[in-house]
Amino acid sequence: MVKTQTKNVIKTIKSDCGLEYNNSEVQSILNYLGIKHETSIPYTPEQNGRAERSMRTIYEATRTMIYAKNFPKSLWAEAVSTVVFSLNYTGNSGKVCKTPCELWFDKFSKTEKFVEFGINAYSLVPKQRRKKWDAKSLKGYFIGYSETAKGYRIWYKVNKKVSISRDVFFKDESVVNDQLVECFNNLNDNDNEKQEHEQGNGSNVNVYKLRDKSSIKKPLYYDNSAFFVAESDPVNFKEAVESKNSEKWIEAMKNKMESLEQNGTWSLVKLPKDRTIVNCGWVYKTKYNVHGHVNRYKARLVAKGYSQTFGIDFKETFSPVVKFDSIRSILIISSVEQLQLRQFDVQTAFLYGDLNEEIYIRQPEGFNDGTEMVCRLQRSLYGLKQSPRCWNIKENNKVLFIALFVDDGLLSATSSQDVNALMEYLRQHFNIIEEKLNQFLGTETEQKSDGSIVMYQRLYCKRILEKFNMTEANPVQIPADPQHLLDDKQQNTNLTSKAPYREAVGTLLYLINLVSRYIEDPKEQHWTAVKRILKYLKGTINFGLIFSSRQKIMLKGYSDADYTGDLDTRRSTSGSVFTLGSGSIAWSSRRQQCVSLSTTKSEYIALSQAVQELTWLKLFLGELMDQPKMVPTMYGDNQNAIKLVKNPEFYRRTKHIDVRYHYIREKFNESSFALEYISSKDQIADIMTKPTPRTRFNELREILGVINIDV
C-alpha cells in the first residue's frame, strides 16, 4: 500500500524484540520483500524511542478524550483512530510548516475539517428512512472520521451503534434549540445530496482548529515532575521490568507465581472450542510504612473480569466489606477495654475461594511457557467478578469474627495469647502477613501506652501537598473561608491557568466534598478554595483523631442543617456526627435532595437522615457489645423539629412536612432512641453544615476529638 500510494519503498523496519515481529511468518514476508528488520536490544526501549513516544502520546490523548466525555471504554479504538488522524494532520514532523501528512503525500493538506471529539452531533435522517412525521435528525456524538468515505463517524448512545454520516450539525449544548430545528428544516434533500463534505455543508459545521503541538508548553504544576517519576508505580509489565526497581518487581512477580502454584490456582489445558478466554495482567503497588519508607513491593495478577458474561462465567458477585465506621467503633471499644490489636494481610486472599464456574485465562505475561496452552482456573482470582464472594463465603465458615476489608484484616482480642492463637489458626489455612497495628487501609493507627488510640493521615497529606506543589505554601487555620461562600452566580471568572482542579478534588474527595460540586466547570474562586484546603492540610498535617481509654461508652448522634445554604440551588445542607464515648466514629455532610420551605423542614429532613445511620450503628454496636437493648440519644437544635417527632398534635397541624420523612417518627415510637434538644452552641454537627469562624471551628474540632498528636 505504501508503494502504491506514495511511490516510496520500505527498506528497513525497526521494532523491539516482541514476538509479534520475531516470528517465522513475519520474517518470511520480510525476506521475500527484501526488507531489513532491525530490533532494539532487550530492555532498551530508548533505541526505539520514536515509536515508544508516539505510542505514549496516542495512549494519553485517547484516555483523556474518553474520560473527558465520560464515554465507555469500548470506544477506545474509535478514539485512537481520531487521535492518529489529528496527529497526522497537525503533529510535529520536524520540518518547518510541514505536517506529517504533507510530507507523506507530498502535497498541502487542509485542516479546516476538524471537529471536537465527543461533541453533540445531529445527523440528517435520509428521507428514504423516515416517514412524514418522523424527526429529520438523530442525536449522536462525533467520534471520528471515516477512512473509506467522505463522512463523519457518529456514535448513537441509544442503540450503541456507529454509523457514517455526511450531513451533520454539531452543537455544544445537549438540547435541540430553535436554531437547530430551523437548520434542519431548511435542508433541501436534493440539494444536500449534491453538496460535498469538504464544503462542511455550508454553515452547518462548526470548525475547530487544533493547536500546533510544537507550541504547547508543559503546565507549571509539573515543574517538579521528577517526583512523579520517582514515586509512581508501573502501570504494566513492560514498565515494571524496565524501571530502576525492576529487580524488586520481578521478585514480587515470582513470589506471586509461587503462591499461585502452591495454591493450585490453575491447570494448563487446551482452550475448548466453545469457550472464550479471559485476559489477565499485572498490577503493581509500592507499600509504605508509617515513616514513608518502602515496606515492600507488591505484584498482583488480575483477571480482566469486564469480559466475563453473566450466566456463563459468573452468577452472584455480592460480598460485604467492613465500613470505616465499624473500624472506628472497634478501635474505641479496644481502647476502653484495653484490648490487644493486630493487623494482618491475607496474601492472595481471593485465591482461597473455590470457583464453581469454568473459566480460562491466558498465561501471565513474563511467565508464558511458549505454548498455546491456557490456564483453567481452579480457584478464584483477583479481577473476576465473583472473586470477593468466593473469598467471603470461605471466611464465613470460621467461628471467630474478624473485621475484613477485602484482604486487609483488623483483629482485637483480650490478650496476646488469644491473638497468637488466632493468628496461628489463620496461618494454617492462609498465607498471612502479620503486623503490629500501624497503617490500616491507608490510615496510620497507633496505640499509646495508656491504651488510647490515635488515627491520622500524615503520609497521605504529605503526598497530596507534594503532588500539587504546595509543600512550601503558607498554612491557614481553617479549611473554608466563611466570608467567601462558593457561588457561581456572584463570580464567573474562568480559570486563567491550567490548574489541576479535577485532579486535586479527586485526591481530596477522601477528605472533603463541597468543592466537588464544581468539578465540571470550576472558576477561579473554586480553585482558590481548593488551594485553601491544601494550605489547611499543611498546617494540620500532624493532627489526628484520638480515642481515649478513659471514657464511658455511650452512643450519641448530633444532627444539624444549614437552611438554603447552597447559594446555587437554594438547597439546605444536612450535617451529622456520631460519637461513642468521647470519640467520633461517623460523620456526614450532604446536600439535601429537595428545596425546603422552612428551617423546620430542613432540620426535620436532616434528623431523618441522621436517625437512619443511628439505627444502623445501634444494631451493629448492640451485637458487638452484647447490648441489644441499647438506647442511643439523638440531639437536635431546632425545637419545632423536635416537637414534630414528640408531639402528634403538633405533627398533624403541620401540613408542609413531606410524608417521605415519617421514618423518624416510626423509630421514635419504637423507642429505639431518645431525642433531645440541644442549644446551637453545643451542636457539634454545626461544623458539617457550613464554614465556621476560626474560634468556633477550633472549638468544635477539639470536641470531635481531633488534636495535634505530636503535643
- Using the predicted structure, report yes or no on whether residue 227 has a pLDDT greater than 80: no
Better pLDDT: 319 or 80: 80
Provide DSSP, 518-567.
GSSS-BHHHHHHHHHHHHHHHHTTTEEEEE-SSS---EEEEEEEETT--T
pLDDT band for position 347 (50/70/90)? low
The C-alpha cell that represents 108 in the structure block? 498541502
Place of cell 493547536: 211
Most confident of 17-21, 241-245, 411-415, 675-679: 675-679
Q: Cα(69)–Cα(120) distance, rounded to whole angstroms?
A: 11
| Residue 263 · residue 352 · CB < 8 Å | yes
CA 478 to chain CA mean position, Å: 27
What pLDDT shows up at residue 432?
80
What pLDDT shows up at residue 416?
76
CA 530 to chain CA mean position, Å: 19
Instruction: For 122-132, write each residue's pLDDT tens digit.
Output: 988 888 888 88
Instruction: For 145-196, write each residue's pLDDT tens digit.
Output: 888 888 889 999 888 888 888 888 888 644 333 443 343 344 333 333 333 3
Lowest-pLDDT choice from 201-210, 352-361, 368-377: 201-210
Instruction: For 503-539, write each residue's pLDDT tens digit.
Output: 777 777 645 567 777 777 777 888 888 888 888 888 8
- Using the predicted structure, report yes or no on whether residue 76 has a pLDDT greater than 80: yes
The C-alpha cell that represents 132 in the structure block? 412524514
Please name every residue paired with 278 in a beta bridge, in sequence order, or none if there are none.
361
Lowest-pLDDT choice from 319-333, 584-598, 608-622: 319-333
Q: Cα(383)–Cα(359) distance, rounded to whole angstroms?
A: 12
Please give the model's pTM, rounded to 2 decimal places: 0.52
Please say whether the dihedral angle defined by the alpha carbons of residues 260, 266, 269 and 275, taken in this order, is positive or negative. negative
Burial (0-12, 13-18, 19+ Cβ within 10 Å), 145: buried
Q: Cα(261)–Cα(265) distance, rounded to whole angstroms?
A: 6
- Average pLDDT score, the chain: 77
Q: Cα(122)–Cα(172) distance, rounded to whole angstroms?
A: 11
Lowest-pLDDT choice from 79-88, 207-216, 691-700: 207-216
Task: Give the CA-trace dihedral at 416, 428, 439, 709, to 10 degrees.
Answer: 0
Report which of 689, 607, 686 is spatially closest to residue 640, judged by C-alpha positions.
607
How wide is the angle at C-alpha 62 spanned by C-alphas 56 and 67, nearest 5°?
125
